[in-house]
Amino acid sequence: MNVVMISPGYPVEMAYFTRALAKVGATVIGVGDQPPDVLPSAAREGLTHYERVSLTDETGVLRALAGLARHARFELVECLWEPYMLLAARIREAFGLPGMTVEQTVPFRDKERMKQVIDAAGIRTPRHASTTTVAGVWQAAEWIGFPIIVKPIAGAGSADTYRVDSAAELNEVLPLLRHVPEVSVEEFVDAEEFTYDTVCADGEVLFEHMLWYRPRPLQMRTHEWISPTCISLRDLSPPDLQGGRQMGLEVLSALGFRSGFTHMEWYRKADGEVVFGEIGGRPPGARVVDLMNYATDGDLYVGWAEAVVEGGLSQPLDRRYNVGSIFKRARGSGRITRYEGLDGLLAEYADAVVAQELVPIGIPRRDWRASVIGDGLVMVRDPDLQRVIEMTERFAAEFTIYAE
């Protein structure tokens, strides 16, 4: 099968999906804007052909593919990078290929359309409105009532997302949103936050996964001193997870999702009520696919490729471990000078640490707002959830990276 992979090497994890397509026997044609010589090696290994285009120039991309179509018939167009999922849908429509259409893709990209479709299915969303004007935000705030969340309609990574508790705060926040063309205003849902992620084929869920964020992503993004952590949960059967799981299945069917990865976020309030957050028709970022692999001792890159190319999974993919990741942000600015508290924790949890990737000493620290990974990560696993909670808390609190 010939598969067109949009942006096969960027962001970097795309390269593993590209290689996985080749591993399951597909012939992979890459279409992206990276120069060929900077494609990651995993992407290069997977690609039979690479066409360099400007992905923002849709007409140019369609023209390049029409040229390719004279030599090779392609049967599938895949894109796992959010900004170009609509482009992939347009290509499918232009070439009459199966998979998500533009109409099916829009609700995965436009958070207002998303919630409208999900409301129509009777699923609990935060009270919401979308607007392009300052007056519209005030109107929505009045209707919804404080506290509210104001965020971009097509946002990612909690960028430009604000919790607003009062009219005075709204006055302060509005100027910060001037560059955002359309915002979503929502009821603020005070809750714990989880994901419900799947790999599907032909509308059937083949693999399920849940992640528990600690603290909530907006808090991770707001406070530099926090070490974000998340835990991939081994056991999805506890009663307090069933509401999210059920909601996940209902959301997938409301959106008519067919094949590939999905990544939904959901909120669980203290009284047990479950509220929809958002959904992407793509895998979670922040190395969560690697957490899935450590959780199952499997390969979800290949699992995804099998699902989209063959319509099934050949590996069992049972969740054997809880897997935690801890992301660190250096204290101070400039270059990384030292790590404190790391050696003791590594020695104590030697049996449980599965990955450790830290910005090396002497290298400039990174911008913690640009990526949740920050100055590095540690991943730990254990069948026992309590031990994973303890390890994530200790790596968060007792391990410090300094920069100066």
Binding site for ligand ADP (CB under 6 A): 126, 149, 151, 155-158, 161, 186-189, 193, 216-218, 265, 277-278
231 binds, among Mg ion, ligand ADP, none (CB under 5 to 8 A by kind): none
Closest distance of CB 215 from Mg ion, Å? 14
Q: Checking DSSP bridges between strand 162-164 and strand 183-187, what pairing results, if any?
A: unpaired
Closest distance of CB 244 from Mg ion, Å? 14
155 binds, among Mg ion, ligand ADP, none (CB under 5 to 8 A by kind): ligand ADP
CB 279 within 8 A of CB 114: yes
Nearer to ligand ADP, 92 or 151 (CB): 151
Position closest to Mg ion via CB: 265
Q: Which of 6, 23, 33, 11 is nearest to 304 (CA)?
A: 23
Query: In Å, how far from its chain's centre is CA 322?
Result: 19
Sign of CA dihedral 356, 361, 363, 368: positive
On the CB side of 240, how many CA atoms lie within 13 Å of its CA? Answer: 12
Nearer to ligand ADP, 156 or 363 (CB): 156
Residue type, position 113, single letter: R
Residue 331 is classified by DSSP as: B
Closest distance of CB 390 from ligand ADP, Å? 24
156 binds, among Mg ion, ligand ADP, none (CB under 5 to 8 A by kind): ligand ADP
Nearer to ligand ADP, 50 or 267 (CB): 267
Closest distance of CB 115 from ligand ADP, Å? 10
Query: Cα dihedral angle (183, 188, 194, 197), rounded to 10 degrees?
Result: -30
On the CB side of 206, how many CA atoms lie within 13 Å of its CA? Answer: 25
Q: Which of 252, 124, 119 is nearest to 191 (CA)?
A: 124
Backbone conformation region of residue 338, classed left if phi is above 0, alpha if psi is from -120 to 50, else beta = beta
292 binds, among Mg ion, ligand ADP, none (CB under 5 to 8 A by kind): none
Question: What count of other Cβ atoms lies within 10 Å of the Cβ of residue 62?
Answer: 16
Binding site for Mg ion (CB under 5 A): 265
Nearer to ligand ADP, 92 or 128 (CB): 128
Nearer to ligand ADP, 163 or 366 (CB): 163
Closest distance of CB 64 from ligand ADP, Å? 30
Closest distance of CB 166 from ligand ADP, Å? 16
CB 289 within 8 A of CB 233: no
216 binds, among Mg ion, ligand ADP, none (CB under 5 to 8 A by kind): ligand ADP
Nearer to Mg ion, 77 or 180 (CB): 180
